[in-house]
Chains A and B, each alone.
Chain A
């Protein structure tokens, strides 16, 4: 079996399995732990504070956004590019259709090209911020830099592949590998915040909400 088929077939299924299975487990463990350690939250469960909290953080409507407008802006741009680019990329759409005959709309390639550069650029911004900003530096470990590399690697290789810089056939295999690596790494690291963010925001929102103090 060629490396391409290995990465497109069995290894992709392993990556999907670890990603979805791992995240499902994270959610189960979250509820298990909260039922043991944070019983009161279930007594004060409130949809109102849950949604209000998530809403104020998904939209930059909070004190942190006001205090750090630049970091907030770059953070939002970074996350939007990170999620939207791979999902609405023409080339990925072609592969979704080829594999499962499903299709949805896609963005023009010139747009996703810039979004890839923005994702890489804003990712580097956060890497440099970890190095130079004292209050971020003290909470930074080597793993944080490594996770940033894992996050940006699919974008860097994707950019190189689209423009066919260097040896295209090698780059495209690296791109597939790094994409799968990121999926595998997500459930075991703080990259899991893509989902766990909603749970922790909900809990914090309810916790402060029962004291009638908004958490944003």
Chain B
């Protein structure tokens, strides 16, 4: 009898763990912005982007960062934003040169991948800092720490 209860408990725990993992898969926590196909001659370490913190702690809407511009309007479907889906990564459209279109009817990109990252992160962080709110880094070494890379 006790053994049966133990098994049921283990099964519940197992399912719970599985569900948690599935959830984490859909919403990755930290993402290493490596993009080695674009940043071929990198002189600074890749940024570890705390993805989860941005919507869990900061409460930022998906579409504030994720975008698909058509005639200047962001038409991204938040329901389609899942890991591995087409165009989910910045580097899906932002390459080493600007002007890429993911689909023919979308606006071409205005920024390279590096410009897109810097603009997306720094402009928001600076704005929050100006409003005396908690914000991520605005300096080079704040996001590209040398020590971390040396340890890795």
Contacts and interface: CB of A to CB of B under 8 A. Distances in A.
Interface in B116-152: 118-119, 122-123, 126, 129-130, 132, 138-142, 145-147
Q: By DSSP majority rule, is chain B's interface helix, strand, loop, or mixed?
A: helix
A164 B139 CA distance: 11
A1 interface: yes
Nearest to B141: A168
B138 A109 contact: no
B20 to A, nearest CB: 36
A5 B126 contact: yes
Contacts of B139: 4, 168-169, 172
Given A90-B43, A164-B147, A98 B123 contact: yes
Contacts of A161: 140-141
B63 interface: no
A2 B137 CA distance: 12
Interface residues of chain A: helix, strand, loop or mixed (majority): helix
B105 to A, nearest CB: 26
A117 interface: no
A165 to B, nearest CB: 9
A194 B139 CA distance: 30
B108 to A, nearest CB: 16
A4 B146 contact: no
B44 interface: yes
B45 to A, nearest CB: 11
Interface string A163-207: 110001100100000000000000000000000000000000000
Given A98-B123, A109-B43, A109-B44, A172 B141 contact: yes
Nearest to B115: A97
Contacts of B140: 91, 94, 161, 172
Contacts of A1: 130, 132
The bracket for how many chain A residues form the interface is 10 to 19
A177 B147 CA distance: 25
Nearest to B138: A4
B118 A94 contact: yes
B146 A164 contact: yes
A104 to B, nearest CB: 13
A164 B123 contact: no
B141 A98 contact: no
Contacts of A134: none
A4 B137 CA distance: 11
Given A98-B123, A169-B142, A172-B141, 19 more contacts: A1-B130, A2-B129, A4-B129, A5-B129, A5-B130, A94-B114, A94-B118, A97-B115, A97-B118, A98-B122, A108-B41, A109-B44, A110-B43, A164-B141, A164-B145, A164-B147, A168-B142, A168-B145, A172-B139
5 contacts: A1-B130, A98-B119, A109-B43, A109-B44, A161-B141
Interface of A: 1-2, 4-5, 90-91, 94, 97-98, 103, 108-110, 161, 163-164, 168-169, 172
